[in-house]
Structure 1
Amino acid sequence: MGILHTLSLLFITTPLLLLLLEENVSNVEARDHHHFGKKQKIKNSPKLSPAYSPAPAPSPRYPPSIPSDPSYGPTPTDYNSTRNCIFDVTDFGAIGDGATDDTAAFRSAWKAACQVENGVVFAPSDLVFMITSTIFSGPCQPGLVLQVDGVLMPPDGPDCWPKSDSNKQWLVFYRLDDMTLTGTGTIEGNGQKWWDLPCKPHRGPNGSTLPGPCDSPALIRFFMSSNLVVSGLRIQNSPQFHMKFDGCQGVLIDKLSISSPKLSPNTDGIHIENTKSVGIYNSVIGNGDDCISIGTGCSDVDIEAVTCGPSHGISIGSLGVQHSHACVSNITVRNAFIRDSDNGLRIKTWQGGTGSVTGISFENIQMENVRNCVIIDQYYCLTKACRNETSAVYLSDVTYRNIKGTYDVRSPPIHFACSDTVACTNITMSEVELLPYEGVLVDDPFCWNAYGLQETLTIPPIDCLQDGMPLSLAENSSYAC
């Protein structure tokens, strides 16, 4: 009876679980606070000392709850040396011709590998496997690996998507502990036909956007899982988010390549929410939305040696939507390169939310042709009709250190738009040098209700940052997390 009960947990396909796992993450656009200062013609920008020269990160010291070496885990050679633990999907009937539905073979291989320690579900190279929306669930024996050396892809667009499958997610990994997703292959999202839906931004007739709903599947989702490693793969052309982590603890991401076109809508590279102890290292991400987006409930996140762009930058938020309570703490981004992006380092919250964002550090960041290089926007809004609210997510202890490079002159490179009633406090600026990529110098950053310290003079000067602390800021239980 116990074995049957365990097997029944492996592939839960009841409507209740599908409802639990599905979520609709909508992309929203910010309401900009335009504030342009004096402009000065320049001919040649001085050469800046580099903030960061891209190079592999050292073995990260963090997070402690998962292996600390980015090259953690057996190599493909190691897997091949333990043949009795390898479950090749072709042995379970997978064809790998890119047209045949290989879902059943992957499910069968997963069931078998789940029952043994250090089991490996193996998708060999030189084959293209098409599978439909699937939940790979646990609990499983420790050390389970899904190794993709070939190509793994979903059906080609919404017309080919099975009507009975969720159109909000493709591969879901659920209730797993000590699991690795790795390989030398590619996970191809076939996103083009989803991006072209007329309900996507500016995809309808004459550049319009038709009413939705406009659900599109996230490519890979880890849900309620722990001690995860994702490494080595190329992940591209997702219909929506490329990779999501929700309700997880202990995540190591290393040496990933994530890519989709610059104008592909809602294609965040890595999105995390309600997830703690995360390390993201040595990866290259270019897409049509945020390279990395950090949602509510995240803490102890370390991001290092990431190249980002074209994209919408690295974002914390949006937070506090529909008066929700949002908590984010202890986020570090260092030794990163952001290029050709709409935003650089962004924190975005809605009016009316509660909670706090604290302990944020951006260090050794190189920018190239980035609009809104450094931005805090506490007036994030879906439409222009958002009402003014008196409550807000409290932002404090945010450090920008050694941020250098060039900006797109359509917006000031530094933009701190904090809540009217809940000021941003303890912002620290040190060695921030931002010059125009081309055109004229915007030498007047924008600040509203922002308090902090300049340890060094910034380029351009940021005289609008207020000293000390606001008199009106008092203890408030709505900030507690």
Structure 2
Amino acid sequence: MELLRGFLIIWITLALFSQNSSNVEGRYHAHKKQKNKKAPVSEPPAYPPDPQDPVPSPVYSPPAPSSPAYPPPVSSDPTDPGNSSSDPCIFDVTSFGAVGDGSTDDTAAFKAAWKEACKVESGVVLAPSDYVFTITSTIFSGPCKPGLVFQVDGVLMPPNGPDCWPESDSKNQWLVFYKIDGMAFTGRGTIEGNGEKWWELPCKPHRGPNGSTLPGQCDSPALIRFFMSSNLVVSGLQIQNSPQFHMKFDGCEGVMIEKLSISSPKLSPNTDGIHVENTKYVGIYNSVISNGDDCISIGPGCTDVDIEGVTCGPSHGISIGSLGVHNSQACVSNITVRNVLIKESDNGVRIKTWQGGTGSVHGISFENIEMQNVRNCMIIDQYYCLSKGCRNQTAAVYLTDVKYRNIKGTYDVRSPPIHFACSDAVACTNITLSEVELFPEEGELLDDPFCWNAYGSQETLTIPPITCLQEGEPQTLVESSKYGC
């Protein structure tokens, strides 16, 4: 994974800036500015910890990952002496008619600024500080010239809830970047999702009596989506209160995510922090995520994903899956999660698959992870199901080569801290445990970790002891041609 990080940095840096390495520092667009009303806004939440500060933990003191070399943001302060008013590459949305008063629809101004920035090398779409911009569901499409920057220093948000959502707009996504190669999405501002009214829809989980759901419209938009794009840098932003997933990457290649702060309430439904699928060469570093679902979720078709220096929780932890839904094939490989703090969460590190799927998950490493009052600290669930109506099936996604090293901390005693439930027909193999030490946050030590059809080895004794992990390999080995990807 060190090679992966170096490869990501070199690859994305070259893609973004080989055309013009001095593109944005201290520049400002020269359109004649319209008179704008500034909206009073509160200060955005505190910026995530500096990458030089390790995640606080008594278990480890990791060195900070190397930061990618991407361009510094432009200044959105017109009084800044380094702010040139003659640079033709900075496209301030207020110069295109954006009002930024928190209620006016500024969509047309953002589209116009994007169109112009897309035409030039190292163009910058700038949403300046001290404004609150509202835009409707929008797709920003490429291809564009190299070195494009979308910089949010103020507040950017969608309409407030489903009743305000235009009928003609997609209710599945809000801000979409499509077919973009070599772009930085950055700034010191806030992406506010206005998700509260979406979470209250009666069809959302547990809105009905006795934990049930009620019929009715249930589409909710993902806040930010990158689709079929490459060589991306996302950094510095506060992203909060998404109606559904905060950030999705689908069909992408070469993604560097660093210094994000993602937050929504603990009980907000389906608000995954960062979700990746069908995406390869991904680095997620030095970010703070708290939300109502997975901090980071890794879907099918992902390979070479490196996660380090992340603080996660309250949440549902860091998950690979769910995989294999509706008897589909799922292929996931070369995933590393290390130097991470997970706290006050329903799960720690999890792999979840549906019965009936095919494909494989292999080359997974969970290393140097601190748990603080976490249920299900280490979980493999090959019987994942969202209802009681899932039928038993013999096919399964094959899990092998999963390593847990230096996993320490405390767990919530309502669930055993280790749970490996593998398929009846397709055993999990080559699970490795080393320096696993988990103690109850309160109460007595649970000495009954659960295993089912799970094979592997213990390099050191675990706390609590795990005697259910079977040594060696199952008598019937998996046919690699059937489950290989």
Aligned pair partner of 1:51 in 59, 78, 86: 59
- The aligned counterpart of 2:477 is 473
Query: For residue 414 of structure 1, what is the amino acid of its counterpart?
Result: I
Q: Is the 8 A contact 2:178 2:226 kept in 1?
A: yes
**CA apart distance, 1:361:** 0.2
Q: Does 1:427 align with 2:434?
A: no
**CA apart distance, 1:284:** 0.1
Q: Is the 8 A contact 2:73 2:151 kept in 1?
A: no
Measure the CA separation in 1 of the matches of 2:478 and 2:338.
Answer: 32
Query: For residue 58 of structure 2, what is the amino acid of its counterpart?
Result: P
Measure the CA separation in 1 of the matches of 2:200 and 2:444.
Answer: 36
Q: Is the 8 A contact 1:373 1:414 kept in 2?
A: yes
- The aligned counterpart of 1:63 is none
* Cα deviation 1:78-126 (Å, max 9, x = unaligned): 9956832100000000000000000000000000000000000000000
**CA apart distance, 1:252:** 0.2
Instruction: Give the 5 Å matches for 1:28-47.
Output: none
* Cα deviation 1:45-85 (Å, max 9, x = unaligned): xxxx93335x77220xxxxxxxxx33522233599568321
Q: Does 1:371 align with 2:384?
A: no
Instruction: Give the 5 Å matches for 1:207-222.
Output: 208-222=212-226
Measure the CA separation in 2 of the matches of 1:173 and 1:58.
Answer: 27
Distance 1:162 1:56, change over 3 A: farther
Q: Is the 8 A contact 1:233 1:255 kept in 2?
A: yes
- The aligned counterpart of 1:196 is 200
Measure the CA separation in 2 of the matches of 1:323 and 1:221.
Answer: 26
**CA apart distance, 1:370:** 0.2
- The aligned counterpart of 1:136 is 140
Q: Is the 8 A contact 1:197 1:204 kept in 2?
A: no
Q: Is the 8 A contact 1:50 1:405 kept in 2?
A: no
* Cα deviation 1:151-193 (Å, max 9, x = unaligned): 0000000000000000000000000000110000000000000
Q: Does 1:73 align with 2:71?
A: yes
| Aligned-partner SS, 2:286 | strand
Bigger relative contact order (CA 8 A; separation at least 6): 1
Measure the CA separation in 2 of the matches of 1:51 and 1:71.
Answer: 30
Measure the CA separation in 2 of the matches of 1:279 and 1:474.
Answer: 31
Measure the CA separation in 1 of the matches of 2:385 and 2:254.
Answer: 32
- The aligned counterpart of 2:243 is 239
Q: Is the 8 A contact 1:50 1:404 kept in 2?
A: no
Measure the CA separation in 2 of the matches of 1:333 and 1:364.
Answer: 8
Q: Is the 8 A contact 2:65 2:308 kept in 1?
A: no
Measure the CA separation in 2 of the matches of 1:341 and 1:193.
Answer: 24
| Aligned-partner SS, 2:383 | strand
Query: For residue 114 of structure 2, what is the amino acid of its counterpart?
Result: W
Q: Is the 8 A contact 1:313 1:338 kept in 2?
A: yes
Q: Does 1:171 align with 2:178?
A: no
Measure the CA separation in 1 of the matches of 2:241 and 2:215.
Answer: 24
* Cα deviation 1:406-464 (Å, max 9, x = unaligned): 00001100000000010000000000000000012111100000000100000000111
Aligned pair partner of 2:443 in 421, 439, 446: 439
| Aligned-partner SS, 1:76 | coil
* Cα deviation 1:375-415 (Å, max 9, x = unaligned): 00000012112111111000000000000000000110000
Q: Is the 8 A contact 2:380 2:420 kept in 1?
A: yes
Instruction: Give the 5 Å matches for 1:142-291.
Output: 142-204=146-208, 208-291=212-295
Superposition TM-score, scaled by structure 2 size: 0.85
Distance 1:109 1:364, change over 3 A: same
RMSD, matched Cα? 1.5
Q: Is the 8 A contact 2:128 2:152 kept in 1?
A: yes
* Cα deviation 1:187-209 (Å, max 9, x = unaligned): 00000000011111122467642
Measure the CA separation in 2 of the matches of 1:212 and 1:373.
Answer: 35
| Aligned-partner SS, 1:379 | coil
Q: Does 1:406 align with 2:413?
A: no
| Aligned-partner SS, 1:200 | coil
| Aligned-partner SS, 1:360 | strand
Superposition TM-score, scaled by structure 1 size: 0.86
Q: Is the 8 A contact 1:80 1:86 kept in 2?
A: no
| Aligned-partner SS, 1:441 | coil
* Cα deviation 1:225-246 (Å, max 9, x = unaligned): 0000000000000000000000
5+ residue gaps in structure 2? Answer: 1-56, 77-81
Q: Is the 8 A contact 1:423 1:450 kept in 2?
A: yes
Query: For residue 58 of structure 1, what is the amino acid of its counterpart?
Result: P
**CA apart distance, 1:213:** 4.3
- The aligned counterpart of 2:54 is none
Q: Does 1:321 align with 2:325?
A: yes
Runs of 4 or more above 3 Å deviation: 77-82, 204-208
Measure the CA separation in 2 of the matches of 1:359 and 1:139.
Answer: 34
